[in-house]
Amino acid sequence: STLSTLGVTKVIFVERGDLGAISFPPGISVQADLTDMDQIIDHIKGYSSSENFITITSLKTGKGFFAPSAYLAAYHGSPVLRIEDAPGNPAAMADRIETWRLGDGDYYHGSRAPGHLPDADVPVDQSPLFLFKAMFSFLRSQDPAALPPLGLDADRYWRAEMYNETHDWIAGYGLDLDGQEAYCFVAPRTDLYLPLHSVMIGNNSYAGDIPGNTPAYSSALIVRSVLYPALIFANPNRDTTTAQLMNFPDGESWTYNNDDSDITYSSRTLKKCLSSHLRDFEGHCLWDAHLEEINDGVSVFYYTGHGTGGSGVSAQYYQSEHSNYPDQIWWDAWRGYSGYDFWRIVRNNGRSWYNPEPPSLYDIIQYDYVDQLLGNLKSCAVFYQSCSTADGYGPMVYLDHGAVLWYGNAGSGLCPESDLMDDKFFEDALIQGETIGQAYSKQVWLHYRDFTTQDPVSLYGPSSRQITTVHCIYGDPTVVIYSPEWTSPVPLEG
């Protein structure tokens, strides 16, 4: 038999749903015959190397996304769960949320920028009886104060329902272990919509999403993340990091949900992080200079600026008409410099801020052109601080060209809050060497609604009341970003 030819002597027979008996030729012993999901999970978690990692896929498309999911799960010692088995329907709730966001949005620079779910400052009774009484009271009094907040805080209750159904399903299998769970969803973005993996990020867990319209594409992303510690050494300029720091605050304060405050010094903090551990930081704000840098190869790219509705990336506008000499090249810089004529120095709330109109006009490079101009990104990790980008096709452009992961916002960012959040994230990810998911998850409870805890401080805190972030990690959330202090792995000789 084929198994005998391969030298197989032991097998684990997985027949979820009790598919039937099977016989093996002499010399092959059945180590386990697993007939239901509980047995499969218990067997996998019995291995000492099994991580606190949960892989979730969908069979909806019928294209076979279970295969790349199984590869990722095998690497982490994780079971593969099917979202169809979850009680309730968290995938449908993610679809509902995304449909609302797109319907509530509008076009901006030719792209559909998403809107936001309605929210409220206090808990809203969701019972039909309460709503009936409120409507009856309004009809009697004609007083709008008798009605609950418009939209009934769908932001809280829809997302909480989606999280609870997913988490309770996991807990039912005994997979809610000590510490944070890492989730990774493997399915097309139009099957398992981004609100599902985003809601699993917080104090108690973190998550990533492997997108792709075909199992082959998803497999390529997974292999890229699994082999990242080796593949990054094929990048000749892996010790270099780059950024387009277009919009950034410097000296502005933000109050967290716990009422603590912090001052944002973004550009200097980012320069420190991107230069840490012997990294060579080369920032740019001219598109041509940035394109040359990233195509030569870098290990990290960070963009902070306008999301342009999710349609493209901004850069310093060429204004050669103001040059002193005809052959003068307009100035590049390691960070943007718009607005320095009318904003004060850094200690007095200095910032750089570009706008879609003069005098602080930004150039825009739409992702169709970014796609044409990018080369092989050689396992570069791409990070964005912008509005809407994670909801559009921008992330796929970078992943198409060989990025190991893409990180950014599918909602709206707010200055200086989003900048402060990323500053703290980079300190943990690039200086402390934490995984992408762990480093980011620390910031959620402080900045916006953390549905992994559903703590009222986070649900109704002073920061959450102003924030509409929907953060996404496209890639394996357990990736640790390369440092020049790493040693190239040595192949094992079989």
Residue 22 has pLDDT above 90, yes or no: no
Given a contact cutoff of 8 angstroms between Cβ atoms, the answer to whether 284 and 293 are in contact is yes
Neighbouring residues of 216: CB distance < 8 A, sequence distance ≥ 6: none
Residue 182 has pLDDT above 80, yes or no: yes
Q: Kindly state the greatest CA–CA separation across the chain.
A: 87
Residue 127 has pLDDT above 60, yes or no: yes
In this structure, the answer to whether residues 240 and 358 fall within a common structural domain is yes
In this structure, the answer to whether residues 113 and 178 fall within a common structural domain is no
In this structure, the answer to whether residues 325 and 178 fall within a common structural domain is no
Report the mean per-residue pLDDT for the chain: 93
Residue 18's pLDDT is 61
pLDDT-derived band at 262, boundaries 50, 70, 90:
very high
pLDDT in tens, 434-448: 999 999 999 999 999
Structure letter (DSSP) for residue 215: H
Residue 141's pLDDT is 96
In this structure, the answer to whether residues 266 and 393 fall within a common structural domain is yes
Cα–Cα distance between 252 and 234 in angstroms, integer?
Answer: 40
Residue 346 has pLDDT above 60, yes or no: no
In this structure, the answer to whether residues 201 and 283 fall within a common structural domain is no
Q: What residue type is 238 in one-letter code?
A: R
Residue 21's pLDDT is 67
Residue 490 CB burial class (10 angstroms; 0-12, 13-18, ≥19): exposed
In this structure, the answer to whether residues 406 and 325 fall within a common structural domain is yes
Q: What mean pLDDT comes out for the span 340-358?
A: 65
In this structure, the answer to whether residues 69 and 113 fall within a common structural domain is no
Question: Quick check: is 485 in a domain?
Answer: no
In this structure, the answer to whether residues 179 and 232 fall within a common structural domain is no
pLDDT-derived band at 343, boundaries 50, 70, 90:
very low
Domain membership of residue 436 as a residue range: 220-474
CB atoms within 10 A of CB 112: 18
In this structure, the answer to whether residues 239 and 144 fall within a common structural domain is no
Residue 144 CB burial class (10 angstroms; 0-12, 13-18, ≥19): exposed
CB atoms within 10 A of CB 230: 13
In this structure, the answer to whether residues 280 and 230 fall within a common structural domain is yes
Residue 105 has pLDDT above 90, yes or no: yes
Domains: count for the chain: 3
Question: Quick check: is 481 in a domain?
Answer: no
pLDDT in tens, 55-78: 999 999 999 999 999 999 999 999
CATH number at 447 reads 3.40.50.1460
In this structure, the answer to whether residues 78 and 97 fall within a common structural domain is no
Cα–Cα distance between 464 and 208 in angstroms, integer?
Answer: 22
Q: What residue type is 210 in one-letter code?
A: I
Element (H, E) at 41: helix 37-45
Residue 349's pLDDT is 57
Residue 17's pLDDT is 67
pLDDT in tens, 464-487: 999 999 999 999 999 999 999 999
Question: Quick check: is 482 in a domain?
Answer: no
Cα torsion 290, 295, 300, 302: sign:
positive
Q: What mean pLDDT comes out for the span 242-255?
A: 93
Q: What mean pLDDT comes out for the span 223-227?
A: 98
